[in-house]
Structure 1
Amino acid sequence: MTHKREALLHKNGQPMRAILIAAALLTGASAAQALPLASTSPQTQASSPAPASAFERDRQAILAQVGDYRVRFNMRETVGLQADYQPLEPKTSGGTEIVRVVHDTGDRISLQHILVMYHEGQTILVKHWRQDWTYQPETVLIYAGPDQWTLTTVSAEDRRGAWSQTVWQTDDSPRYGGVGRWSYDNGMTVWTSGPTWRPLARRDAVRNPVYDRYLGTNRHVIRPGGWVHIQDNVKMTGRDGGEPRAMVQEDVVNTYDASAAFEPKPGDDYWAATKAYWAEVRAAWDAVITRDGGVHVQEVADTGAVTSAALMEMADKINAGELTTEAAAERARALINEATRP
Structure 2
Amino acid sequence: MLKTPSRLAIAACFALACVASPALADGPIADRGEAVEKAHFQKDRETILAMAGDYKVRFDMQESTPWMEGYEPLDRKLSGGYESVRVIEDTGTKIVLQHLLVVGPEGEEFVIKHWRQDWEYEPEKILAYTGPNTWEWKEMPERLRNGRWSQTVYQVDDSPRYAGWGEWQDSQGIRRWRSNWTTRPLARRDAVRNPIYDRYEGINRHQLTPTGWIHWQDNTKMMPDAGAEDGLKPVVQEYVLNTYNAFDGYNTGAADAYWAATKTYWDAVRDKWDEVAEANGGITIEEEAETGTVISGRLLTIGTELQEGQIAEDAAIAEARALIEQATAPGAARSATEPAGQSDY
Shared topology, TM-score over 0.5? Answer: yes
Q: Supply the AA of the counterpart residue of 2:169.
A: S
Matches within 5 A, 1:296-335: 296-335=284-323
Match of 1:161 in 2: 147
Listed as ranges, the gaps of 5+ residues in structure 2 are 1-22, 31-35, 331-345
> What residue number does 1:293 align with?
281
Letter in 1 for 2:191: A
Task: Quote the Cα distance in structure 2 between the aligned partners of 1:267 and 1:233.
Answer: 31
* DSSP 3-state at the match of 1:119: coil
Q: State the SS of the aligned residue for 2:303.
A: helix
**Structure having greater relative contact order (Cα 8 Å, sep ≥ 6):** 1
* In structure 2, C-alpha distance between the alignment counterparts of 1:87 and 1:131, rounded to whole Å: 29
Shift of 1:154: 0.8
Cα deviation for residue 53 of structure 1 reads 1.0
Shift of 1:120: 6.6
* CA displacement 1:219-258 (0-9 Å, x = unmatched): 0001112000000000010165852010000000000000
- 1:112 match: 98
Instruction: Give the 5 Å matches for 1:206-221.
Output: 206-221=192-207
Q: Does 1:255 align with 2:243?
A: yes
CA drift at 1:43: 7.2
Aligned match for 2:178, one of 182, 186, 192: 192
Pairwise CA distance, 1:157: 1.2
Deviation track 1:272-313 (CA, whole Å, cap 9, x = no partner) reads 000100000000000000001100011100011111011000
Alpha-carbon distance, 1:197 to partner: 0.6
- SS of the equivalent of 1:144 reads strand
Contact persistence 1:135–1:163 (CA under 8 A): yes
Q: Which residue number in structure 2 is paired with residue 23 of structure 1?
A: none
Partners of 1:52 and 1:198 in 2: CA distance:
32
Asked if structure 2 preserves the Cα contact closer than 8 Å seen for 1:133 and 1:166, the reply is yes
**Offset of residue 124 of structure 1:** 2.8
TM-score after normalising by structure 2: 0.84
**Residues 42, 181 of structure 1: 8 Å contact kept:** no
Cα distance in 1 between the residues matched to 2:300 and 2:126: 25
Q: State the distance in 2 between where 1:124 and 1:169 align.
A: 19
The residue identity in structure 1 corresponding to 2:141 is S
Match of 1:276 in 2: 264
Counterpart-to-counterpart distance in 2, 1:126 and 1:241: 42
Distance change (3 Å), C-alpha of 1:38 and 1:193: farther
Q: 1:106-185 counterparts in 2 under 5 A?
A: 106-119=92-105, 121-185=107-171
Amino acid at match of 1:293: G
Q: In 2, distance between residues paired with 1:273 and 1:38? A: 47
Q: 2:310 aligns to what SS in structure 1?
A: coil
8 Å CA contact 2:29–2:147 kept in 1: the answer is: no
Assess if the C-alpha contact under 8 Å between 1:51 and 1:57 holds in 2. no
Distance 2:71 2:156 in 1: 31
Q: Which amino acid aligns with 1:290?
A: E
C-alpha contact (below 8 Å) 1:39/1:194 kept by paired residues: no
Contact residue 43 and residue 182 of structure 1 kept, 8 A: no
User: Is the partner of 2:204 in helix, strand or coil?
Assistant: strand
CA contact (8 A) 1:288 1:295 kept: yes
Label 1:96 to 1:136 Cα distance change in 2 as closer, same or farther (>3 A). Answer: same
Cα 1:38–1:294 change in 2 (3 A) is farther
In the other structure, the counterpart of 2:66 is 80
Report how many aligned residue pairs link the two structures.
302
Structure 1 letter corresponding to 2:110: I
1:31 maps to none
Q: 1:193, 1:332 → 2: CA distance? A: 32
CA distance, structure 2, for counterparts of residue 282 and residue 223 of structure 1: 31
The CA distance in 2 between the partners of 1:291 and 1:38, in whole Å, is 36
Q: Tell me the TM-score normalized by structure 1.
A: 0.85
Matches of 1:252 and 1:38, distance apart in 2: 26
The residue type equivalent to 1:258 in the other structure is: A
1:272/1:241 CA distance change after superposition, 3 Å: farther
Structure 1 residues not aligned, in runs of 5+: 1-36, 45-49
Partner of 1:96: 82
